[in-house]
Amino acid sequence: MNIEHQVQQILIDKFHVDRALIQPGATLQDLGLDSLSLMEFVFALEDAFTVRIPEERVESARERLTLEELCSIIREHVGQHSAA
């Protein structure tokens, strides 16, 4: 299962986001994630991928951070984790 698919499943299963809204260019704000649900989403991603996502990378860019960019951040940190 690829990162994009796992992120999509987390959004659908845990945050009840409509599948039709989940597009690579959708921002976290477009998906209806407020500050609290955003942090819960980050924790769910960290658990799913066994990574630590820097809070400032996500929180400061919530209005403009797209799912595609978020998947890239995860990829960066998965790579760091496996290199360690």
d(CA 33, CA 6): 17
Q: Which residue has the tokens 């998906």?
A: 31
Please state the domain extents for the chain: 3-83
Instruction: Say yes or no to pLDDT of 62 above 80.
Output: no
How confident is the model over 25-44, as pLDDT tens digits?
999 889 988 888 888 999 99
pLDDT at 83: 42
Please tell me the CATH superfamily of domain 3-83, with its number: ACP-like (1.10.1200.10)
Predicted TM-score (pTM) of the model is 0.84
Q: Which two tokens stand for residue 59?
A: 């929180």
How confident is the model over 63-78, as pLDDT tens digits?
788 999 999 989 988 8
d(CA 22, CA 5): 10
